[in-house]
């Protein structure tokens, strides 16, 4: 099934208790496309970079089967830049700098050949831009998943609410769910957010896993306890890529299949955090992915007989 991925392709500078990077390749769409590429090879990317962006990374995406026809390269302009610093627990971070650069006036153009995707993943981006992509499509995808962040809740809430009303699945973290709903309880937050439009809500809780809600049910996926966590950047995007990639591969958008999909999403996120940037998501084998998913299964499998 075809998948259209939209989001930032960027430079990041990251500081964690385990080290610090200069500018490295990041961006929501980079992580999403890489993670999804382990499940489906029919991926189109819509984004924008400046002419400062490395060809090497574009070649890596191509090797992973990602079509870059929709990636605009702006001559003489600079790529989006984000820098962040993680606190000691790695579950929270401060944004040190956001330079929108090419994203400031980004007008996404979905290539003709990508205008009728089966699945659409709207990665973190200006909400009005996310919306303009939906409007360019010639048929409604089977599933639209949207990821966003507090930054857009702070500066573009009205546009964000309009965009959220057009989608099927929203993925945000726990503090963003609280901010968007004004509720501390995540159950109450989910009830409120599900009234804003999406049929399904995923609340990501970093090293504490992820919750999947619809109006009737809740499901929980743990995060894998890992020996080495270096950099949580992109974990949420890798989660989203694995989630939608698995749904696209299995062609099944039932809530039961979404329960499996959040395990695959969590598995992809667990790879990402093991190294800085996108490094760990490049060159994985099918065996690596299968083994990782099996670790999740083993982690939560137990027998209880209540007699």
Query: Interface residues with ligand AMP (CB under 6 A)?
Result: 8, 10, 12, 26-28, 82, 98, 124-125, 151, 233-237
| CA distances, 95 to each of 84, 146, 149, 221, 284 (Å) | 4, 21, 12, 27, 29
CB of 59 to ligand AMP, least distance (A): 19
Closer Cβ to ligand AMP, 1 or 134, answer by number? 134
Q: What is the 3-state secondary structure (H, E, C) of 113-146?
A: HHCCCCEEEECCCCHHHHHHHHHHCCCCCCEEEE
- Min. distance of Cβ 125 from ligand AMP in angstroms? 5
Tokens of 232: 């949580």
CB of 204 to ligand AMP, least distance (A): 8
CB of 269 to ligand AMP, least distance (A): 8
Smaller CB distance to ligand AMP: residue 281 or 289? 281
Residue 57 or 82 having the CB closest to ligand AMP: 82
Least distance CB 107 / ligand AMP (angstroms): 16
Q: Helix, strand or coil for residue 260?
A: helix
Least distance to ligand AMP from the beta carbon of 128, Å? 13
- Kindly state the smallest distance separating residue 307's Cβ from ligand AMP, in Å: 45
- What are the CB-based long-range contacts (under 8 Å, 24+) for 185-193? 186/211, 187/218, 190/218
User: What is the closest distance, in whole angstroms, from the C-beta atom of residue 254 to ligand AMP in the complex?
Assistant: 26
Whole-number Å distance between alpha carbons of 89 and 189: 24
Q: Please identify, using beta-carbon distances, which residue of 52 and 252 lies nearer to ligand AMP.
A: 52
Report d(CA 148, CA 126) in Å as an integer: 9
Instruction: For residue 42, give the DSSP letter.
Output: -
Residue with the shortest CB distance to ligand AMP? 26
CB 221 within 8 A of CB 296: yes
143 phi and psi angles, rounded to 5 deg: -150, 130
DSSP state of 230: -
150-157 long-range Cβ contacts below 8 angstroms, 24+ apart: 150/175, 150/176, 150/179, 151/95, 151/98, 152/124, 152/126, 152/127, 153/179, 153/180, 156/126, 156/127, 156/128
Q: Which CB atom, from 28 or from 263, has the smaller least distance to ligand AMP?
A: 28
Q: Considering beta carbons, is residue 23 or 192 the nearer one to ligand AMP?
A: 23
Q: Please, which residue, 30 or 44, has the CB nearer to ligand AMP?
A: 30
**Of 119 and 239, which CB lies nearer to ligand AMP in the complex structure?**
239
Cα separation, 2 vs 118, whole angstroms: 5
């Amino acid at each position: 099934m075809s998948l259209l991925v939209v989001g930032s392709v960027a430079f990041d500078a990251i500081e964690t208790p385990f080290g610090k990077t200069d500018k490295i390749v990041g961006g929501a769409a980079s992580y999403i496309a890489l993670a999804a590429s382990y499940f489906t090879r029919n991926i189109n990317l819509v984004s924008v970079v400046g002419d400062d962006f490395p060809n090497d990374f574009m070649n890596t995406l191509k090797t992973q089967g990602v079509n870059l026809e929709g990636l605009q390269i702006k001559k003489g302009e600079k790529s989006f830049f984000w820098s962040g610093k993680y606190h000691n627990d790695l579950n929270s971070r401060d944004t040190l700098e956001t330079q929108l650069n090419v994203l400031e006036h980004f007008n996404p153009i979905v290539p003709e050949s990508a205008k009728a995707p089966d699945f659409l993943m709207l990665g973190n981006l200006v909400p009005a831009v996310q919306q303009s992509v939906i409007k360019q499509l010639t048929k409604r995808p089977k599933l639209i998943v949207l990821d966003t962040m507090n930054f857009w809740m702070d500066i573009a809430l009205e546009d964000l609410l309009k965009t959220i009303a057009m989608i099927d699945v929203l993925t945000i973290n726990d503090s963003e769910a609280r901010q968007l709903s004004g509720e501390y309880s995540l159950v109450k937050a989910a009830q409120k957010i599900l009234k804003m439009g999406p049929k399904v809500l995923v609340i990501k809780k970093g090293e504490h896993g992820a919750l999947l809600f619809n109006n009737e049910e809740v499901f929980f996926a743990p995060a894998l306890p890992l020996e080495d966590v270096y950099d949580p950047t992109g974990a949420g995007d890798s989660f989203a890529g694995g989630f939608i990639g698995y749904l696209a591969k299995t062609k099944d958008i039932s809530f039961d299949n979404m329960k499996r999909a959040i395990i695959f999403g969590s598995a992809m996120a667990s790879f990402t955090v093991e190294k800085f940037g996108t490094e760990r998501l490049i060159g994985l084998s099918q065996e690596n992915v299968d083994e990782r998913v099996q670790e999740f299964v083993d982690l939560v499998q137990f027998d209880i007989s209540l007699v």
